[in-house]
């Protein structure tokens, strides 16, 4: 690969992506995503903001301990405590980067930092210099760079380069800029900063105006060689540059851009589905690259062209991003080997501990559904949990309701030691069977969390399609999220609620 044309893919799903409302993740979930990012072959994983909280520190340290291959990075403000915490969290790995930042726009200086320009210059220089004493690979970001006076931005970047920064990242923090304007900014910095040829220029865009990918491509054309991005474009407000969109734009239009990345594009779709499942942020059907409609054709003229030659209406092959072409896959008579082969073909891995429960769920689904789609298999794999992770397991569920009298639920659960308990809860508030089921589960388990969000999403097509429910609750000041899938939406809700109860229980036992 020509290093002059190599675009470094810096993934910040676990840092900036997690800052999106409702996208907080557990340590186990972050490790799953980190392993998927390694398989995707990203160059840099920004594992978190080590100084932000003890939980973030532990996550960065665990990822630094467990993931080899990509550079492991953590964010830090330009102050002594943040940088020391970053260094400690990254101790387990030799392939590390500290990413320091300070705001530079007049708006931030006046309304957030209450600092003079000279103080910002000093903070940038000393922050980079201190990070450099702990780590050879140091990245510097002038926050809100796209709204910063160009001359002052040049001064700040010069200070960071003088202090030893190896990467200069230019963020469009609020998604304000437009492509031509942003390209000119990079040309200005690369032309006017001293020793600009000694550093990698990087770009970090937000999607507030829907221009994050276009702005990132404009930066690359103007000399940047690193793109900071997230899976599915998740992130604060409208999100970040989408990793799958930027990499496939480069790959699909290689004759125009003449850039290359190290990304294994066949892992894009499975990684997208994993992040969607963990965060509860469903991918819109019309999302570029990984949405359900990305390779779907309904108009007659499009279908006719597709039958003649796929290139008439497709600029990429679905297999290029890890989407299988087949529709119906397996049935009730399929065996373990056929099931496992299909799972692997879809880009997922199942270890021995998860294979048996996943196959068991597949067989249960095959008895309920006439047609099983790839998306059904994906949902099973992504929602399978090993039996020893759950304190409570659903054994039986019955509900009845009427518009004039309310709802009633009978729930039977099995706890971890095999004991079966059951209860029946009558609801007269006319809020329906879902609330009845949740109340019954609370009576059995003894937990009474506050429901924050309840979402329903169709996994596949048809009258017997599986429904996926995502539930978010708050318990003792902490948010928990759970997923459940079933052809019965009430059962999906029960499974999702049980998952959050089990997470609460595991967290409580861990802290005792």
Cα–Cα distance for residue pair 375/465, rounded to 1 Å: 10
The mean pLDDT value for 380-409 works out to 78
Q: Where are the beta strands (DSSP E) in 217-339?
A: 226-229
Q: What local confidence, expressed as pLDDT, does residue 503 receive?
A: 84
105-118 pLDDT tens trace:
999 988 888 889 99
Instruction: Determine contact, residues 280/472, Cβ cutoff 8 Å.
Output: yes
The mean pLDDT value for 460-488 works out to 81
Q: What local confidence, expressed as pLDDT, does residue 368 receive?
A: 74
Identify the CA nearest to 240 among candidates 273, 264, 282, 211.
Answer: 211
The mean pLDDT value for 328-345 works out to 74
Residue 255's pLDDT band, with cuts at 50, 70 and 90, is very high
Which top CATH class is 390-511? alpha beta
Question: Percent of the chain beyond pLDDT 70?
Answer: 88
The DSSP code for 503 is H
Strand 420-427: give its sheet, edge to edge: 392-402, 406-415, 420-427
pLDDT over 90 at 88, yes or no? yes
Residue whose structure tokens are 């829907």: 210
Residue 199's pLDDT band, with cuts at 50, 70 and 90, is very high
Domain ranges within the chain, ordered by starting residue: 3-279, 300-383, 390-511
268-292 pLDDT tens trace:
999 999 999 889 888 998 999 998 7
Q: What local confidence, expressed as pLDDT, does residue 366 receive?
A: 79
Q: Which residues pair with 98 in a beta bridge?
A: 74, 138
31-84 pLDDT tens trace:
999 999 999 999 999 999 999 999 999 999 999 999 999 999 999 999 999 999
143-184 pLDDT tens trace:
999 999 999 999 999 999 999 999 999 999 999 999 999 999
Minimum mean pLDDT range among 115-124, 302-311, 430-439, 444-453? 302-311
Highest mean pLDDT range out of 182-186, 385-389, 410-414, 435-439?
182-186
The DSSP code for 222 is T
Q: What local confidence, expressed as pLDDT, does residue 310 receive?
A: 59
Number of C-beta neighbours around residue 512 at 10 A: 5
Q: Positive or negative, the Cα torsion across 294, 299, 304, 307?
A: positive
Name the token pair of 308.
């003649």
- Tell me the CATH number for domain 300-383: 1.10.238
Superfamily of domain 3-279: Aldolase class I (3.20.20.70)
* Exposed / middle / buried, residue 201 (Cβ in 10 Å: 0-12, 13-18, 19+): buried
Residue 197's pLDDT band, with cuts at 50, 70 and 90, is very high
Cα–Cα distance for residue pair 198/374, rounded to 1 Å: 48
Q: What local confidence, expressed as pLDDT, does residue 464 receive?
A: 63
Q: What local confidence, expressed as pLDDT, does residue 415 receive?
A: 82
Name the token pair of 219.
């930066």
pTM: 0.80
Name the token pair of 480.
């928990």
Q: What local confidence, expressed as pLDDT, does residue 506 receive?
A: 79
Question: Percent of the chain beyond pLDDT 90?
Answer: 55
Q: What local confidence, expressed as pLDDT, does residue 304 receive?
A: 43
Name the token pair of 116.
């003079």
Cα–Cα distance for residue pair 246/218, rounded to 1 Å: 11
pLDDT over 90 at 259, yes or no? yes
pLDDT over 80 at 386, yes or no? no
Residue 353's pLDDT band, with cuts at 50, 70 and 90, is confident
The distance from CA 173 to its chain's CA centroid, rounded to whole angstroms, is 19
226-238 pLDDT tens trace:
999 999 999 999 9
The mean pLDDT value for 210-219 works out to 98
More confident residue, 427 or 473: 473
Cα–Cα distance for residue pair 272/274, rounded to 1 Å: 5
Q: What local confidence, expressed as pLDDT, does residue 110 receive?
A: 87
Q: What local confidence, expressed as pLDDT, does residue 459 receive?
A: 72
More confident residue, 385 or 130: 130
Cα–Cα distance for residue pair 12/24, rounded to 1 Å: 13
pLDDT over 90 at 478, yes or no? no
Instruction: Determine contact, residues 82/51, Cβ cutoff 8 Å.
Output: yes
Cα–Cα distance for residue pair 397/493, rounded to 1 Å: 11
More confident residue, 206 or 413: 206
Q: What local confidence, expressed as pLDDT, does residue 300 receive?
A: 44
């Amino acid at each position: 690969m020509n290093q002059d044309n190599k675009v470094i893919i810096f993934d910040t799903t676990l840092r900036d992506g997690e800052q999106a409302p409702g996208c907080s993740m557990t340590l186990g979930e972050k490790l799953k995503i980190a392993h998927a990012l390694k398989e995707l072959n990203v160059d840099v994983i920004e594992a978190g903001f080590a100084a932000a909280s003890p939980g973030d520190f532990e996550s960065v340290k665990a990822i630094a301990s467990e993931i080899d291959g990509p550079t492991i990075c953590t964010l830090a403000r330009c102050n002594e405590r943040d940088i020391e915490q970053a260094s400690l969290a990254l101790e387990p790995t030799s392939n590390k980067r500290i990413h320091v930042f300070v705001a530079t726009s007049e708006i931030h200086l006046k309304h957030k930092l209450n600092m003079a320009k000279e103080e910002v210059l000093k903070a940038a220089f000393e922050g980079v210099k201190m990070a450099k004493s702990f780590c050879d690979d140091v990245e510097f970001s002038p926050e809100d760079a796209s709204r910063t006076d160009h001359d002052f931005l040049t001064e700040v970047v010069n200070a960071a380069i003088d202090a030893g920064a190896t990467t200069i990242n230019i963020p469009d923090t609020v998604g304000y800029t437009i492509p031509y304007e942003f390209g000119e900014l990079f040309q200005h910095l690369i032309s006017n900063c001293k020793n600009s040829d000694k550093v990698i220029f990087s770009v970090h865009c937000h999607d507030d105006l829907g221009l994050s990918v276009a702005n990132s491509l404009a930066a690359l054309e103007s000399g940047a060689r690193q793109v900071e991005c997230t899976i599915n474009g998740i992130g604060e407000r409208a999100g970040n540059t989408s990793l799958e969109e930027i990499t496939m734009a480069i790959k699909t239009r290689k004759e125009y851009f003449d850039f290359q990345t190290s990304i294994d594009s066949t892992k894009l779709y499975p990684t997208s589905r994993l992040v969607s499942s963990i965060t509860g942020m469903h991918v819109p059907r019309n999302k570029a690259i990984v949405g359900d409609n990305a390779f779907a054709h309904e108009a007659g003229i499009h279908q006719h062209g597709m039958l003649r030659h796929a290139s008439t209406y497709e600029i990429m092959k679905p297999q290029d991003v890890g989407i299988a072409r087949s529709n119906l896959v397996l049935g009730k008579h399929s065996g373990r080997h056929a099931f496992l082969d299909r799972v692997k073909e879809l880009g997922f891995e199942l270890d021995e501990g998860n294979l048996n429960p996943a196959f068991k769920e597949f067989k249960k689904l095959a008895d309920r559904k006439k047609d099983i789609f790839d998306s059904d298999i994906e949902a099973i794999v992504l929602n399978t949990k090993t039996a020893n992770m759950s304190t409570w397991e659903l054994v039986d569920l019955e509900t009845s309701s009427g518009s004039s009298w309310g709802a009633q639920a009978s729930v039977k659960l099995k706890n971890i030691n095999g004991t079966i308990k059951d209860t029946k809860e009558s609801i007269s508030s006319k809020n329906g069977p879902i609330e009845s089921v949740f109340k019954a589960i609370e009576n059995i388990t003894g937990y009474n969390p506050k429901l924050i969000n309840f979402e329903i999403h169709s996994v596949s097509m048809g009258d017997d399609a599986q429904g996926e429910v995502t539930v978010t609750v708050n318990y003792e000041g902490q948010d928990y999220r759970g997923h459940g899938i079933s052809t019965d939406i009430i059962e999906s809700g029960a499974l999702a609620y049980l998952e959050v109860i089990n997470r609460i229980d595991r967290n409580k036992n861990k802290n005792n």
